[in-house]
Structure 1
Amino acid sequence: MSGLSPADYLLLIPVIALAVFLAISPLRDSKWKARIRAGEDPRARLKFYRETMVLLWGVAILCLAFWLVSGRTLAGLGFGMTVEGWRGGLAWGAALASFGYMVWSTVETARSRSTRQSVRRQIDAMGGLDMIRAKTSAEHTRFLGVAITAGITEEIIFRGFLIGALALVMPVWAAAAVSVAAFTLGHIYQGPSGMIRVFVIALVLTGIFLIGGSLWPVIILHIAMDLSSGLAFRLVDRHAEADAAAEAASAA
């Protein structure tokens, strides 16, 4: 800590804000889960989406502002291009491979009843997805904004800013571990099985960021992941009745 400059200490402000945000998230999530499940307000999920986007952009802008005020650059935050050579190629290759898998998975969900049934079981097993799972056309439309918001802001907050700020006082690998833990805790509403999935995603995104040194591959991949999840929600709901009828007919 003695090696820090006065400007470096400014980064403590968004770090503390992020810690408070993560601490109150379970209480906030419980409130919204109850409102959405009660069904008394048909626009409850839309309001939750809006509040989530406002909060995420607020925290991200705070991190970005204090990063710049401390004398650092956007490139230092991760908004430069990936490093040259094999590391940059590996980062973009991993991102593109993951993107390709998501496209394949979405196509399979659209065309295969057994795949949709598997996706339904996974969604039901997570238990906490009702809060974010779009149901109506208006919700699906606004979920696009949530996906784009999360893909940009969460990468700024957890990958770019948090790792960069914590690396001032600990090894980069330790800062990355804290980032993965914080990102996972931020999705506690998804329940144990959902958090395991989020933990794996956090490892992948963090690894790509550390290898390539740029936020661009992980922002694009994160947005694609969330859009893919939203499309999966839509597909399983759209075919729910037909799939149930086909399953009943095959069992008869």
Structure 2
Amino acid sequence: MMIQGLWLLGMLAGMAWWVRRDAEAYRRFQALTCSGDRQRVYWRWIAQSFAILVGASLISLWLVDGLSPFNTFPSAFEQAHQALRSPQHDGSAESMAGMAIGFAIGLAVLLFVQWRRIRKMLKPVAGPADALLPRNRREAMIVTVLSLNAGFSEELFFRLALPLFLFHLTGSLWIAFGVAGVCFGLAHAYQGWKGVLGTMLVGGGLTLIYLSHGSLLRVMLIHAVIDIMALLVRPAITRWIGRRNTLAAAGA
């Protein structure tokens, strides 16, 4: 228990250092104009986040005998899983239809939210996170890798390793997932307080999906898709609408 407590203190101290360092690095990144410099920073972020989050996840899981994240669902989360699991969640046609309807509704809500943002015609660097948007095809390719890495490494740490580790220390799922959710939001502090709150809300939704379905791979994929939508799809649609409006105004 002492080793686990020391490891927790080390992780919290390391996270505080990372958040501060990340905010400073992002401010420098916002000032970059050369695509080559931006690409190097992208790759550095990918390597650093993968090494730090996956490394911390493996150590945390090892300390609580939980090194089987993909083929088993932690028994520590089983109570929450049973509480959130639908009685019809048995793989039947009715269950699959319900899942499909739920996915369609969620997708419709996501598209509605994105459409409102598109209609506002955001400028290229209108918000704190918009400097991340790729400016050419090479950057778009790297941002895709960045999104996939975020989906994998962040979900492994914030949805499995950290909550499981905290549960073994506190015995409370509420504390475990609550603290992990706050940490997940603070890890995006470079986006400002709105970004932190928004990230915490998204993290809460991902936590519910994970606990109800018991699939870490599912939330990894959803996380990656959300990032790809925000960093690649939405900006592409925004640019297309902008060009069309410009052509329409010129022809008027």
TM-score band by shorter chain is 0.7 to 0.9
Q: Which amino acid aligns with 2:221?
A: I
Q: In the aligned structure 1, how far is the partner of 2:149 from the partner of 2:64?
A: 26
- Cross-structure match for 1:231: 233
Q: In the aligned structure 2, how far is the partner of 1:95 from the partner of 1:147?
A: 24
Q: Give the superposition deviation at 1:215.
A: 1.3
Q: In the aligned structure 2, how far is the partner of 1:166 from the partner of 1:95?
A: 33
Q: In the aligned structure 2, how far is the partner of 1:242 from the partner of 1:166?
A: 51
Aligned positions, number: 237
Q: In the aligned structure 1, how far is the partner of 2:181 from the partner of 2:151?
A: 15
| TM alignment of 1:150-189, pairs within 5 A | 150-170=150-170, 171-189=172-190
Q: Any conservation in 1 of the 2:151–2:220 contact (CA below 8 Å)? A: yes
Pairing partner for 1:70 from 58, 63, 68: 63
| TM alignment of 1:1-252, pairs within 5 A | 4=1, 9=3, 12-13=6-7, 16-17=10-11, 19-39=13-33, 41-67=34-60, 69-70=62-63, 72-75=65-68, 77=69, 79-80=71-72, 87=85, 89=89, 97=102, 101-102=106-107, 105=110, 116-118=118-120, 120=122, 124=126, 127-170=127-170, 171-229=172-230, 230-246=232-248, 248=249
Structure 1 residues 196 and 61 mapped into 2: Cα distance closer, same or farther (>3 Å)? closer
Q: Give the superposition deviation at 1:197.
A: 1.8
Q: Any conservation in 1 of the 2:64–2:165 contact (CA below 8 Å)? A: no
Tell me how large the CA RMSD over aligned residues is. Answer: 3.8
Q: Any conservation in 1 of the 2:188–2:199 contact (CA below 8 Å)? A: yes
Task: Provide the TM-score with structure 2 as the length reference.
Answer: 0.75
Task: Provide the TM-score with structure 1 as the length reference.
Answer: 0.75
Structure 1 residues 204 and 71 mapped into 2: Cα distance closer, same or farther (>3 Å)? closer
Q: Any conservation in 1 of the 2:159–2:207 contact (CA below 8 Å)? A: yes
Q: Which amino acid aligns with 1:240?
A: G
Q: Give the superposition deviation at 1:179.
A: 0.6
In structure 2, the gaps of 5 or more residues are 91-95
Q: Any conservation in 1 of the 2:147–2:228 contact (CA below 8 Å)? A: yes
- SS of 1:135's equivalent in the other structure is coil
- SS of 1:44's equivalent in the other structure is helix
Q: Give the superposition deviation at 1:237.
A: 2.7
Q: Give the superposition deviation at 1:221.
A: 1.1
Q: Any conservation in 1 of the 2:29–2:41 contact (CA below 8 Å)? A: no
Seq. identity, %: 19
Q: Give the superposition deviation at 1:138.
A: 1.0
Q: Give the superposition deviation at 1:79.
A: 4.5
Q: In the aligned structure 1, how far is the partner of 2:225 from the partner of 2:65?
A: 29
